[in-house]
Amino acid sequence: MAPEVFKHRRYDKKVDVFSFAMILYEMLEGDPPLANYEPYEAAKYVAEGHRPTFRSKGFLPDLRELTEQCWAPDMNQRPSFLDILKRLEKIKENLPTDHHWHLFNP
């Protein structure tokens, strides 16, 4: 849950960008973010400014950077989905043709 939702503040579609970041994190790490927390406690933890910790080393730094920008505490600092799509396309274009993903390898 995006911090602004937990805090009952005004929000817009950037809450979906925040949720996308959490899904991307799970895809990169192989585990749900903050899985060791109860849902309310996880939402509170995030609202206090904390984020999940990256442990895996086998993914591109650009994906980590994108994830971190998408879960920025200030929703106005989060990219739009159009910007996210452009960045993902650029990441894909820059992959070597023989690139092999090493997801879920700590």
Interval 13-35: pLDDT, tens? 999 999 999 999 999 998 999 99
Report the alpha-carbon distance of residue 30 to residue 38 in Å, rounded: 19
The pLDDT of residue 53 is: 93
Instruction: Spell out, as residue ranges, where the chain has pLDDT lower than 50.
Output: 104, 106
CATH class of 3-93: mainly alpha
Q: Inter-axis angle of helices 81-93 and 61-70, to 10 degrees?
A: 180
Provide the residue ranges of all domains of the chain, joining segments of one domain with +: 3-93
Cα separation of 71 and 18, whole Å? 5
* Per-residue pLDDT, 103: 52
**Element of type H or E holding 89:** helix 81-93
